[in-house]
Amino acid sequence: MECRLASIDVGSHTARLLVVQVSDKSLMETLARDRAYIHLAGHISEDFPKVLRPEAAQIVGRALVNFQEKISSLEGKLVFAAATGLIRETANRKEFIDKVYDISGILIRPIDPEVEALLSAKGALTFARGGVELPATIFDLGGGSTEFCFITESGHRVTSLALGAGILTHDLLRSDPPLPGEVQALRDEITRVLVEGIGGDFKAGPRGTLIGTGGTVVSLAALGLGIGVEDISADKINGQILQLGEIESLAERLSKLGFSEMAKLKGLDKGRAQVVVAGAWAVYHIIKHLGYDRLYVSMHDLLEGMVLEFLEGEGDGGERLEIGIDLR
């Protein structure tokens, strides 16, 4: 089986594209990755019910036009375009999706948080072909939410929390650089969401494996390794270890920098710099709350998971998103 397949994730902070060369159902070579920072948290109404403002569809639509051009230039086939994070929670979701389709010709389809968690775990585990030590946890920190997949000897469970770097930044960090009181309020909110959302039965303790995905996690790894943005790749990032203390030091350092200073750091682009303080503290508190002392980094996530799921559906046009996977 030789083909070129693409997947798209339109999240709360970022729209992302992956194009891969597939030689069989388990071997994928990355041909292209692309992203556009769409900042949907800044284009949503403050009242209730939440609605995305008209300009949001224009921003997303233009990003997807560029993605489609890249897919076409590589002679790829788009298998699925997922809408995650804020999009699935807004009252005018259908109107927004229809407008994006009118602009780009790409139909983005909301997926449930539970499906997102499983697909993200499926993608993340592709780099650990030798297996992982159980119990294991895979989390995907996004702009509007964080999805968790907990794996034990007896099976797996998933959950999604309203814990996103973009939303936390928008709601709690108003100063540049953030004031100490803002940072403390941010940390208190992260802790509250984790305590209320993840019970003790999900905590694995120091034993087992914790894998993190998402733009913030990758950026923290790049900062720790001193890798420039242009040199970030799965080969360099996958499997890297971030210690809890290392992440705490990075979060403290970033919290004291202004946006213009952060944007100059090697390994951090301007789009990620806008939300990295909130993201770094979220990663730190997730690790600490779950009882781990380190994190394994994966660039593989939902995008790879969607391609794998398509392949396992035996080429049914991307409609299959029922998860029938053995995470072990």
Query: Residue 320: what pLDDT?
Result: 45
The pLDDT, as a whole number, for residue 314 is 55
Lowest model confidence (mean pLDDT) among 55-69, 96-110, 260-274: 260-274
> In which region does residue 259 sit, left (phi positive, over 0), alpha (psi from -120 to 50) or beta (all else)?
alpha
Residue 131 scores a pLDDT above 70:
no
pLDDT tens by residue, 302-325 = 999 999 999 887 544 444 444 444
pLDDT of residue 247: 97
Backbone angles phi, psi at 270, to 5 degrees: -60, -40
CATH number of 128's domain: 3.30.420.150
For residue 327, tell me if it sits in a domain. no
211-268 tens-digit pLDDT: 999 999 999 999 999 999 889 998 899 999 999 999 999 999 999 999 889 888 998 9
Residue 317 lies in a domain: no
pLDDT at 57: 97
Last residue of one domain, picked from the residues 110, 139, 161: 110
Same domain for 8 and 49, yes or no, is yes
**220 and 281 both lie in a single domain:** yes
Whether the predicted pLDDT of 70 surpasses 90: yes
Are 33 and 102 part of one and the same domain?
yes
- Provide the CATH number for the domain around residue 102: 3.30.420.40
Per-residue pLDDT reduced to its tens digit, 164-192: 999 999 999 999 999 999 999 999 999 99
Same domain? 22 vs 104: yes
Strand (E) or helix (H) holding 170 = helix 165-172
Residue 303 lies in a domain: no
Among residues 92, 110, 128, the one where a domain terminates is: 110
Who wins on pLDDT, 57 or 48? 57
Domain span at 92: 3-110
CA distance 240 to 225: 9
Q: Is residue 217 part of a domain?
A: yes
Relative orientation angle of helices 180-197 and 165-172, to the nearest 10 degrees = 130
User: Looking at the 3D structure of the chain, how many domains does it have?
Assistant: 2
pTM of the predicted protein model: 0.89
Same domain, 26 and 164: no
